[in-house]
C-alpha cells in the first residue's frame, strides 16, 4: 500500500528544501510502503531496537522460520528458548510475548487507530512494556503511513541531518526541530528520504 499523499508531499518538499530536492532526484522510483499488519509491524520494531538493520532482518527471518504463522497467539505460544535461539535477548522475548497478549485480550485494538491522533496512539502504545516513543513513531510511519512524524531520537535521522545540514557536526534537537518546521506537514516523507541518503535500501517494518 502506497501513501496517497506521496506525490503532493514530494513536490512541496522539493520546492521548500534544496537538500530534499537533491535527494528526491537521487531516489525517484522508491516510496514508503506499509506491510499492513499492525502486530507484525510492532513486533518487528521491537526486534529492531538498538541493533543494525542487517542484524534485525536476520533475526526476524529466523523468527518467521520458527513461527511460520506470525500471529499474536502463535507468538505467545512459542517457547522462550525457540525465540532466544533466533538471536533475541531474553528481555526482547518478554516484550514480544507481552505485545502478543495485549493483542489477544483486546487492550490493543488496531481498528481504533486510523481515527486517532498521532499523540494519542503514541501514548497508548508506550504503555506497553518494551515499546518506547521510537518504536511507536516507527509504527506511525511504517504501518499507519502517517505523513508528519519526526523521530528525533532516531540515529539514522540524526546522522543524515548532521551530514546534510551541519557538515557532519552534531545538531541539537532544537535545531533539528527548527529545520524540520519547513517540512510540515510532510516530516515523515522528509525523514524517509534522509534515511535513504545514508542507506539506499528501503526499510520496511
Domain limits for position 172: 6-33+149-198
Residue 127, domain CATH: 1.10.340.30
The answer to whether the beta carbons of residues 170 and 28 sit under 8 Å apart is no
Q: Are residues 98 and 191 in the same domain?
A: no
Q: pLDDT tens for residues 152-192?
A: 999 899 999 999 999 999 999 999 999 999 999 999 999 99
Domain end call among 123, 142, 161: 142
Burial label for 159, CB within 10 Å (0-12, 13-18, 19+), is middle
Q: pLDDT tens for residues 98-137?
A: 999 999 999 999 999 999 999 999 999 999 999 999 989 9
Give the percent of the chain with pLDDT over 90. 78
pTM across the whole model: 0.87
Residue 1 resides in a domain: no
Amino acid at each position: 500500500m502506497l501513501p496517497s499523499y506521496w506525490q503532493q508531499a514530494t513536490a512541496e518538499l522539493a520546492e521548500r528544501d534544496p537538500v530534499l530536492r537533491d535527494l528526491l532526484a537521487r531516489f525517484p522510483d522508491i516510496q514508503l510502503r506499509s506491510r499492513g499488519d499492525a502486530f507484525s509491524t510492532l513486533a518487528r520494531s521491537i526486534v529492531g531496537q538498538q541493533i543494525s538493520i542487517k542484524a534485525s532482518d536476520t533475526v526476524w527471518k529466523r523468527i518467521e522460520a520458527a513461527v511460520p504463522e506470525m500471529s499474536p497467539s502463535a507468538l505467545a505460544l512459542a517457547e522462550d528458548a525457540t525465540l532466544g535461539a533466533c538471536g533475541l535477548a531474553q528481555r526482547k522475548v518478554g516484550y514480544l510475548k507481552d505485545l502478543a497478549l495485549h493483542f489477544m485480550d483486546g487492550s490493543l485494538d488496531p481498528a481504533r487507530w486510523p481515527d486517532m491522533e498521532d499523540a494519542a496512539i503514541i501514548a497508548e502504545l508506550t504503555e506497553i512494556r518494551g515499546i518506547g516513543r521510537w518504536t511507536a513513531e516507527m509504527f506511525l510511519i511504517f504501518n499507519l503511513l502517517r505523513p508528519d512524524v519526526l523521530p528525533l531520537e532516531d540515529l539514522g535521522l540524526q546522522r543524515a541531518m548532521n551530514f546534510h545540514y551541519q557538515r557532519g557536526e552534531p545538531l541539537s534537537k532544537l535545531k533539528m526541530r527548527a529545520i524540520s518546521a519547513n517540512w510540515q506537514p510532510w516530516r515523515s516523507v522528509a525523514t524517509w528520504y534522509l534515511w535513504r541518503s545514508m542507506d539506499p535500501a528501503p526499510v520496511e517494518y
